[in-house]
Structure formats: structure tokens, C-alpha cells
Structure 1
Amino acid sequence: MSEPVTNLEPMAELPASRAGRWKAILKIAWPLIVANSFWNLQMTIDRLFLADYATEAMGAAVAVMGVFWTPMALLQQTASYVTTFVAQYFGANRNAMIGPAVWQAIYVSIIGGLLFIGLIPFAGSVFGAMGHASSMQRLEVDYFVAMCFSALPTAVVAAASGYFTGLGRTQVIMQINGVGLVANAILDYCMILGKLGFPKMGIAGAGYATAIGTAIAALYGMYLVFSDRERREYGLTTGWKWNNELMARFIRFGVPSGMQWALEGLAFSIFLIFIGRMADGSAALSASSIVVTIMMLSILPTLGMAQATSVLVGQFLGEKKPDQAERAVWAGWQVTVMYILTAGLTFVLFPGFYLSWFANKNDAEMWAKVSVIAPYLLMFVATFTISDSVNLIFSFSLKGAGDTRFVTIVALILPWPLMVMPAWLFQDKPGAVYWAWGAATVFSIVQASVFWRRFVGGKWKQMSVIN
């Protein structure tokens, strides 16, 4: 069952005290932080089982996720943008429009998910063009094909979560992600390693476990949405028709939001391709996979805070209270900085603690190389996470207002000269992987500065996604 309905009205205003504002935003953010941590834990479990299976499989997994995430981010984040529509309609007390907006997100999820299946025949050509070792390519193709089946349920989960998030009822998101986590963990154990009567499928098993586990979470999410006690007031039972005008606005604002993630994912995919082509690229790519997984431990809680900030921006703009929206953003930023500085410091002081999770005694030669590279990469990641937290808070705040086009332009322009090109230029030089991650860190700092400047400029205060 979903949580009892306790917030039939949007927040009137934030508390006057700083501590009160922190408490108000954490009330919305903490379930999202936990839910995102569930998602991160799910990914970490995948990596841990794959590390036990073969260190090279872990490197292949991160390469695939770079390629898979580009179109997946477009679909998932477009569907997820229903959060802003729900928040602004809720803030404006136009509750009957919430259901139709959710239905448009569901239609986008279904269409996009089915289109993903059409990518499967191209998997061999795409990963063959990367120039990785043939053994790595076989693993990459197997994982990508399996992951394609997870696209539709992942987008449906985003649509269901967007409904509850936009209303500020974020504890429900923990339930949905928790169901997906448990299902995926059990299936990982069975399908990767061949336990409990399942065949030993290795990296393909990780992909199919994700697809099945996410489908279970999607079904549960849809059950919660359509059994919600407010489903009639919000038009969920009557607003199922395709709405051309609403869909056009959903695409107008949602697709640029998704494009930001897709473009950054594409740039990061190319970045990882160049890392895989470096001298001893398998070790460099595997080390990068490990530090990316560790990095997500810090970034995803920040993502939860950014999502909560975006919700409050949407609700307050729906109420025509931009000053309250601005106060919410600064409160979210203050809490985030306190957390992220602590997390980043642990990467520098205790790298061995994190790396011990991924040690593989069965592949001692590869692990010896990876264990030398990864601690240095964690130093870059410590700085990257600090700047990326600023990036997340302010970019989500802009998107919560409807400023998605600017966010997309930034994602289109900045990553290539600042992150991808340096990785390409240095790929044949000594210490190339360190130069590449140094460039990625500079990119994150510059991007965060751009989003911060856009926010303080205040243009977003006059924006809205609803008529």
C-alpha cells in the first residue's frame, strides 16, 4: 500500500530559520536519498557479483552502461519530467490535470521502451567500432542486449515515481525502488553465478536480472499509482486519453531535460572508449568502473536532494511564489555541501576501504594493475563529486522551473572540449588515464559554475511548464 495521504495541499512557505528550511527540504529529500541509494546499491551489487565472476566483466559493464545510458537517459529523464508537471499543477491547485500529465509520461515510456528493442541488431557493430579487446567486446554485446529489455520498465518506474515525487509524497519512492533492489539482488546471485538451479550466465545474467527486477518494480509502481486514494481527484481514472496539447508541452520541456542526461552520457561514453584504448586499457577501464561505482555512492544522495529542491521549485512557482522557490534552492545547496565535503574526504583518506569491495583474487594480474590506478582516480573523484553536487542542485532547480533548453545547450557544448578531447589527445601518453580524469574534473567545475550563474541571474523565476 502507498503511504497515507498527509499533504493534500502544497507547502505554503518555508520556515524563517535556516535550520527550519533544512528540516523542511530534508523531509522531502531523505526518502529520495534512500531510494537513490537503493538504485546505487543495486548497481554496486551488480558490480560485486561481476567482480567475483571476472574483473574484465566489470570493465565491460561500465563501457556498456556508457553506451546504453545515452538513449536510456533520454527516455527515462523525459518520462521523469512528469515530476515538474505534477508539482506545478499541484502548486497551482489544478489537481484534475495531474492524471492526464502522468498518462502522457506512461505513453512516452511505452513507445520509447519498445523502440529500444530495435537497437539490439546494432550491438555488434557499435561495440566492434570501439576497438576494445575481442574478449571485452563479446562481454559488452551480451550485456547490452540484455539491458535493452530493461528500458521500458525503467521508464515506467520513472513515470510512477514522478507522480509521487511531484506531490511531495517521496516515501513511496523508497517502496518502489526497494522492491526493485531486492528482486534484482536475488536474480543477480542466481543468474550471474548460476545458483539455485539457474544457468551461469555471467554478464548477460546481470543484464537480464536488471530487466526482470525493474519490471517487478514497474508493476508495483503502477499498482500504487492507480490504487491511490486521490486517483479520481487527480484525474488518473479519467485522464487516460492521448492529449495532443499536453503531450506537445510534455515533449517541449521533457525532451530537453532528457537530452541533458543523454548528451552528458554520450560524452562520458566516448570518454570511456578512449580510456579503453589507452595502453593497458582493460586495467584503466576496470579501474574507472570501480571509481565510477564508488562515486555514485556520493552523487546519488546529492541527486535526491536535487530532486527535492526541484519539487519545491515547481510547487512554489505553481503558487506564484518565486522567492520561496529561491530560498528552497539555497537550503538544498547548503545541506548538500556539508554532506559532499565529508564524502569526498573519505575517498582521499580511505581508498583501500572502498577498493577492498572489488578485489578479485582469481584474476590477480589484472587486479594488481587496477589497485595501483584506482586510488589516484579517487583523488580526482573527490573533487569531481563536490563540483557535480553544485551542478545537480542548480541544474535541477532550473529544470523544475522549465528552463530545460538552457540546461541542454550547456550539456551539448561543454563536455566535448573540456572532457572528451583531452582524453583523446592524451590517450597515447604516459599516465593518460590520470590526465583524462583530471580533464573530467575540470569539466565538472566549469559546468557547475555555468549553472550557478544562470540560477543567480533569476530568469527562471518567470518560467512555467503549465498554461
Structure 2
Amino acid sequence: MVVSQSAFALMVFTDRLFMSQIGALHIASALGGGVTFFVTIALFQGVISYATALVAQYLGSGQLDKCPRVVTQGVIMALAVQPLLWLIGWQAAKLFALMGHAPDQVALERQYFFVLLAGSFLALSKTCIASYFSGIARTRVVMISDVLGVLVNVPLSYVLIFGKLGLPELGIQGAALGTVIATGFSVAIYALFYFNRIHRKRFSVLRSFHFDRGISLRYVRLGLPSGIEVFVGAGTFNLFLLLFQSYGVNEGAAMAIVFNWDMLNYVPLIGMNIAVTSMIGRYVGAGDMTRTNQVISAAFLLAVGYSVLLGLFFILAREQLMNVFATPGEDFSVIVALGSQMMIGLATYVLADAAILIASGVLRGAGDTRWLMNTSMLLHVLMLLVQVYIIKVAVLGPMASWWAFVAMLLMLAAIYLRRLFGSRWRSPERLAKVMAE
């Protein structure tokens, strides 16, 4: 799962690197447009991705025939929400101008956003099938499919962005189009594994293509809080990002580059989060809670060790890391100076990310999604209100805004750890309700 999620990070990283060859404005626009797209689909993606925990729980309880039925319900949901997604997307695209972005930046952000939105069904379907294979512990399938997708995306985006091999130069639209095509390619690879004869017979795949009321209700009951949590977290983060970009193009470019390096830590930890969700879900389904402590210990050992090393790297090489994205022929010194200071904050909160993602993976696998939703919503909304005050009311500088963001992540990590090391989420009565259809 770490390799799989890192492949996705590499795809985004190279797209932004290609954008940097055009100009700082394109880097900032790709970040704004990309995050806004994620926010637009976040609610539905959060619900659909709960397939990992559901499938793992059915696998642990020995109900193998119900595992592929989860995929069917997820794809039905992905198809059903398409009209709503377009309506939401049309309104979301207005945010760029409302946040005070320059007209040139707004035009680029909208181009990137709408191309990604056109491929939203593919993105949601990929989330569903990848979550299924994670849930049945076939994570090698996820790795192969995602890595092959990236191997298609990187050269394809290069060709489309810069107009090579006789194709027109599409710029930022080419980057988005390359992502959509690569996503479709990954879905096709997943389908080959899904309809493989051995897998098809073991899980009764061909008998799964129907609406299942019990699984659908359980999917929504446990997955909707998870989806709301993802949506509110992504939405408030996106508004913070757009507010921060109102400082100017240099500040927006600095943030985009810092978050690009942040993916080296955050995205592999997402892989750990998915793996932990799957393992905890399986033990919950099997009624074997004694193994959960071993999962928690192993996950923290791996995640914290990785984040400590990466945090040191971010501090020691911060200026060199910023200069990787320097646009040829342009003065990049202002962006490097600001971004280098922000990299210190990044090195500070990487451990908080590790704690948040491991703790949330455990709690999500155990079905404690309502608590995660309430806590995450409260703290993210609080963070956004603080950012509005800092940026728009008090008119403080970008570093004041940045350190307030870092402080919020540290606070969130402390609260998640307190819940994890308590006992309420593992009580037998609550777990019995989680497994009920």
C-alpha cells in the first residue's frame, strides 16, 4: 500500500514539476484546481473508500460472497452521484475568483479542475475496486495497478503538456487529461485481476451484480460519517489553501512546492492507514481483538520511524528542495526564502500526520466513524475560522497563517491518540452494532 500510494504521489509530483517548467503561476493553479476537485468528490470518495473496512470485516467473519457485493454497491453509488457531482463542481469552480485570485490564475485553475471533473466516475470506481483489494489483503494487486497507471501517466502527461509526438501543446489541461486517461488504464488493470478465474470462483464474483439492501444500508451507515469527515477536512483545507494563495502568486507557489514535498511523507502514510484499516477490520470481523494491539504497535513503529527521518531531511535540505522547482530564467529567490521557512513547519508536523493517520486507520477499521467525523469536523472548522481571522481580519503575514496550521495538526494528533488509547471504541457491545446489517 505504501508503494501504491507513493506511485500516486509521484504522478502528482511530476505533473507539478512539468508545470514549473512553464511558470510559478501554473504550479499554483495546478494545486488550487487539483485540491478543489478532490474536495468536490471527497464526500462520495470517503463513503466509497469505506469498502476497505467492510470487505475486511466480511473476510474476517468468513462471508466471502459478500465481499464483491460491496464493490457492486460502490459502483452503483459512483454512477448515481454523477449529476450531483457536476452541479457541485459548477458551483465549486466559482471559488477561485471569490478567493481573490488573479484572472490568469482563475482561468488556469478552472481548466485543470473541469478536465479532472469529467473523469470523476473513473476516479470513484478506482477508489472502490482498490479499496476492495485492500480489504481482502491483495495489496500487491493495488500496487501493480497503480504503478502501471503512473508509468502510463508520466510520459503521457509530458507529451500532452508540451505538445510532443505531433500532438497539440495543451499545457495545464494536458496534465489533467493525462491523469484521467491513466486512471482509466488503472481501472482496466484492476478489472483483469477482479475477473481472474480463480478469484472469480473463490468470491462468487458473477453472483454479486445486484443491489443488496443490507450491505448498502451498512455501507451508508458506517461510510457516510467517514465521507463527511473527509469532505469537511478536505473542504476546510481547500479554503485555507485558497485563502493563503490570496497573499500572492509567490506565496501560492511556495505553498504548492512545500505540499509537493509533504506528499513524500503524507501519501505513504495513507498507504499505512489503508493497511491498518484492513487489518483491524479483519480482526473485528473475526472477533479477535487481542491482535489489534500488535497491529497498532507495528504501525506506529513504522510510521513514526519513517516520519522522523523524513523530517530531518526536510530541515537539512530545505533550500535545495525548493530550488528543484525553480522556473528557468525567473527570479525564484522570494519563493525559496518563504518556502524554506515553511519547510521547518512541515518537518514539525510530519509526526502529527503519522499519529493522525495510524489512529484514524485503527478507529475506522473498528467502525468508530461517527466519533472521527465529529472530532475532525470541529477542529477543521475551528482551524478555518482562525485562518480567516489571521489572513483577512488581522491581515498577518503568511508565516503566522502557516504556524497556525501546524498547531492545528498537532492538536488533532493529541486528541486522536487520546481516543485510540482509551477503551470505548473496542467495547464488545459497540463492535456488535458495527457488524450488524
What is the DSSP-based 3-state SS (H/G/I as helix, E as strand, rest coil) of the residue aligned with 2:207? coil
- In structure 2, the residue matched to 1:402 is 367
- For structure 1, the residue ranges without an aligned partner over 5 or more in a row are 1-31
Measured after TM superposition, the shift of residue 422 of structure 1 is 3.0
Contact 1:305 1:336 in 2 (8 A): yes
1:306 and 2:273 equivalent? yes
Structure 2 residue identity aligned to 1:406 = W
Task: For 2:389 and 2:252, locate their aligned partners in 1 and report how far apart those are by CA, in whole Å.
Answer: 17
The alpha-carbon deviation at position 114 of structure 1 amounts to: 5.2
**1:161-176 → structure 2 map (5 Å cutoff):** 161-176=130-145
- CA gap 1:430/1:85 in 2 versus in 1, 3 angstroms: closer
Q: Distance in 1 between matches of 2:197 and 2:271?
A: 23
CA distance in 1, matches of 2:161, 2:57: 43
Residue 344 of structure 1 corresponds to 311
- Note the C-alpha offset of 1:430: 7.5
Give the corresponding residue for 1:146: 115
1:379 paired with 2:344, answer yes
Hey, what does 1:291 align to over in structure 2?
258
How high is the TM-score relative to the length of structure 1? 0.89
CA distance in 1, matches of 2:197, 2:22: 42
Secondary structure of 2:250's counterpart equals helix
CA displacement at 1:147 relative to structure 2: 1.0
Q: Does 1:328 align with 2:295?
A: yes
> How far off its partner does 1:200 sit?
1.0
Partner amino acid, structure 1, of 2:148: V
Aligned twin of 2:79: 110
Which SS does the other structure have where 1:168 is aligned? coil
Aligned counterparts of 2:395 and 2:208: Cα–Cα separation in 1: 60
Shift of 1:381: 0.6
Deviations 1:208-248 (A, max 9, x none): 11111111111221222122513233232101101122111
Correspondence for 1:19: none
Give the distance between the partners of 1:44 and 1:433, measured in 2 at CA: 23
1:98 aligns with 2:63: no
Residue number in structure 2 paired with 1:10: none
* Alignment deviations for residues 36-77 of structure 1 (CA, whole Å, 9 cap, x no partner): 110000000110111112210110111122322113222223
What secondary structure does 1:240 align onto? coil
Q: Which residue of 2 aligns with 1:391?
A: 356
Amino acid aligned to 1:410: T
- Alpha-carbon deviation of 1:121? 3.9
Give secondary structure in 2 for the equivalent of 1:230.
helix
Looking at structure 1, the residues matched to 289 and 364 of structure 2 have their Cα atoms a distance apart, in angstroms, of 14
> What per-residue deviation string (whole Å, max 9, x for no partner) do you get for residues 394-430 of structure 1?
011100011111111112100232x323322222667
Q: Secondary structure at the match of 1:414?
A: helix
| Residue 334 of structure 2 corresponds to residue 369 of structure 1 | yes
Give the match's secondary structure for 2:435. coil
Cα separation, 2, equivalents of 1:113 and 1:448: 34
Measured in 2, the distance between the counterparts of 1:161 and 1:387 equals 26
1:186 alignment partner in structure 2: 155
- Classify 1:228/1:156 alpha carbon distance in 2 versus 1 (closer, same or farther; 3 Å): farther
Indicate which of 142, 155, 171 corresponds to 1:202.
171
**Cα distance in 2, alignment partners of residues 110 and 357 from structure 1:** 40
The answer on 1:356 being equivalent to 2:356 is no
Distance 1:62 1:140 in 2: 8
Asked if 1 retains the 8 angstrom alpha-carbon contact of 2:148 and 2:186, the reply is yes
Aligned amino acid, residue 427 of structure 1: I
Measured after TM superposition, the shift of residue 124 of structure 1 is: 5.0
CA distance in 1, matches of 2:119, 2:354: 28
- Residue type at the aligned position of 1:219: A
Q: Structure 1 residues 185 and 228 mapped into 2: Cα distance closer, same or farther (>3 Å)?
A: farther
Counterpart in the other structure of 1:425? 389
Q: Is the 8 A contact 1:166 1:311 kept in 2?
A: yes
Residue of structure 1 equivalent to 2:417:
452
Q: TM-score, normalised by structure 2?
A: 0.94
Q: Does 2:382 correspond to 1:413?
A: no
Q: Which amino acid aligns with 1:341?
A: V
2:46–2:230 CA contact under 8 A, matched in 1:
yes
Q: Distance in 1 between matches of 2:89 and 2:366?
A: 36
Tell me which amino acid in the other structure corresponds to 1:141. R
Whether 2:55 is the aligned partner of 1:86: answer yes
Q: 1:15: which partner in 2?
A: none
Between the aligned partners of 1:112 and 1:222, the Cα distance in structure 2 is 22
Query: Which secondary structure state, in structure 2, belongs to the residue aligned with residue 427 of structure 1?
Result: helix
Is residue 153–residue 214 contact of structure 1 (8 Å, CA) maintained in 2? Answer: yes
RMSD: 1.7
1:352 Cα deviation (Å)? 2.7
Alpha-carbon separation, structure 2, partners of 1:123 and 1:283: 24
CA separation of 1:343 and 1:420: change in aligned 2, threshold 3 A: same
Determine the structure 2 residue equivalent to 1:251.
220
Q: Tell me if structure 1 keeps the 8 A contact 2:40–2:89.
A: no
> Structure 2: how far apart are the matches of 1:106 and 1:444?
33
Instruction: Name the CA shift for 1:112/1:182 in 2 (closer, same or farther; >3 Å).
Output: farther
**2:191 is aligned with 1:222:** yes
| One-letter amino acid of the counterpart of residue 45, structure 1 | T
Q: Deviations over 1:292-336 (max 9, x none)?
A: 010011111122122211111111111111121132112211221
Deviation for aligned residue 1:448: 1.0
Count the aligned residue pairs: 431
Separation in 1, partners of 2:185, 2:172: 20
Whether the 8 Å CA contact 1:50–1:57 is kept in 2: the answer is yes
Moved more, 329-338 or 108-117: 108-117
Name the amino acid aligned to 2:389: L
1:160-198 deviation line (CA, Å, top 9, x unaligned): 111211111111111110121112112211111111122
Structure 2: 5+ residue runs without aligned partners?
none
Secondary structure at the residue paired with 1:196?
Answer: coil
* 2-structure distance, mates of 1:270, 1:416: 10
Following the alignment from structure 2 to structure 1, what is the Cα–Cα distance between the partners of residues 296 and 201? 32
Give 3-state SS (helix, strand or coil) of 1:231's partner. Answer: helix
Amino acid at match of 1:240: F
Are 1:67 and 2:67 matched, yes or no?
no
